[in-house]
């Protein structure tokens, strides 16, 4: 449905988005994940047509955004990071105003507002002014605004930022409900949020895509990677490394700490379908080392995100 090819955006010589390419399928909930300043908002603003790209192309349903900007904008509902509201208006009056601006005729307007109030959980505040509402309820009004024209694509920029845990759960449920019928793209820097809501996650850092996959695939990839931490007495790092590296599935042995008294702590990185702890223990058992510490840290999506963003930052410095 959405095809992005080599999308790039410069601001006065600074590259905010650096050659992003991806395809987004109809009905997919895609999470654009990355640390603050990664290029998420710029990417979303280019997808909505708010910013023109410096280079690259965006096509939605085979329509190029440069030649069919108006048609594409009519397909998209957009909730920016900071939603602008007329805070003195009642919620109903505000949504009625939005419906008028969107060209919805009088006979359909009330039905549409009623549907969105139900979908976004706004029935109990329709008579209140927007200025009275909590941040969470403001976000729900913003969602109703973005959904007013029944768009095919919904783009949300940090929709849960600043919300408390209960409000996050409520917004998440609404997004999942909308995602049953729409293509949804939303940005976040909270991995657990993307994991709980999305079918697919794209991790972006310094304007580049560093990972792209369905949530379950990323979980399975994480499950094949683990780190084992060892502390040994009466051992030297070089000898430990030479003993453990030949073990099948061991990718690296990294020294954490070594003392003059013959104690060494190491981190063993493994990538294997099976647990390597038994083989590592057997290798240690055949030596005169004293095993003081031995535990495994399984890689999660959190650690994958951390490793990917840390590595690209290291490479670029």
> What's the whole-number mean pLDDT along residues 164-168?
86
Most confident of 55-69, 159-173, 186-200, 263-277: 55-69
The predicted model gives 151-164 an average pLDDT of: 91
Q: Of 199, 217, 235, at which residue does a domain stop?
A: 217
Overall average pLDDT of the 76-88 stretch: 88
Domain range for 93 is 2-217
Q: Average pLDDT, whole number, for the chain?
A: 89
pLDDT band at 313 (very low <50, low <70, confident <90, very high): low
**Distance between CA atoms of 247 and 300, rounded to whole angstroms?**
23
pLDDT for the residue numbered 227: 87
Give the lowest-confidence range in 102-116, 246-260, 268-282, 297-311. 297-311
- Cα Rg of the chain, angstroms: 25
pLDDT at position 301 is 65
Domain termination residue (choose one: 177, 193, 217): 217
Q: What is the pLDDT of residue 221?
A: 65
Of 197, 201, 157, the C-alpha closest to 180 is: 197
The 8 Å CB, 24+ separation contacts for 7-11 are: 7/43, 7/46, 7/53, 7/55, 7/56, 7/57, 7/58, 8/53, 8/54, 8/55, 8/56, 9/39, 9/42, 9/43, 9/46, 9/51, 9/53, 9/54, 9/207, 10/54
CATH number for the domain that contains residue 289? 3.30.70.260
- Output 312 or 161, whichever has higher pLDDT: 161
110 and 6 housed in the same domain:
yes
């Amino acid at each position: 449905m959405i095809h992005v090819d080599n999308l790039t955006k410069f601001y006065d010589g600074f590259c905010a988005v650096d050659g992003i390419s991806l395809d987004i399928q109809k009905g997919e909930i895609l999470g654009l994940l990355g640390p603050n300043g990664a290029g998420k908002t710029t990417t979303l603003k280019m997808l909505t047509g708010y910013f023109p790209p410096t280079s690259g192309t965006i096509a939605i349903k085979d329509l190029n955004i440069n030649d069919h900007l108006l048609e594409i904008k009519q397909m998209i509902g957009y909730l920016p990071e900071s939603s602008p509201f007329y805070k003195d208006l009642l919620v109903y009056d505000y949504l009625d105003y939005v419906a008028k601006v969107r060209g919805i005729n009088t006979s359909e307007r009330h039905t549409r507002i009623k549907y969105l109030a139900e979908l976004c959980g706004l029935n109990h505040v329709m008579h209140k002014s927007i200025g009275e509402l909590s941040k969470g309820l403001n976000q729900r009004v913003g969602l109703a605004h973005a959904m007013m024209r029944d768009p095919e694509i919904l783009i949300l920029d940090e929709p849960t930022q600043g919300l408390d845990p209960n409000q996050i759960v409520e917004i998440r449920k609404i997004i999942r409900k909308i995602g049953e019928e729409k293509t949804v793209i939303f940005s976040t820097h909270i991995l657990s949020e993307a994991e709980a809501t999305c079918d697919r996650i794209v991790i972006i850092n310094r304007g580049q895509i560093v990972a792209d996959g369905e949530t379950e695939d990323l979980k399975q990839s994480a499950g094949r990677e683990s780190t084992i931490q060892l502390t040994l007495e009466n051992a030297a790092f070089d000898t430990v490394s030479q003993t453990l590296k030949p073990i099948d599935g061991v990718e690296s042995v990294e020294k954490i700490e070594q003392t003059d008294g013959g104690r060494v702590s190491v981190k063993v990185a493994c990538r294997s379908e099976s647990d390597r702890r038994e083989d590592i223990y057997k290798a240690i058992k055949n030596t005169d080392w004293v095993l003081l510490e031995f535990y495994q840290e399984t890689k999660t999506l959190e650690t994958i995100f951390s490793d990917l963003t840390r590595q690209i930052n290291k490479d670029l410095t």
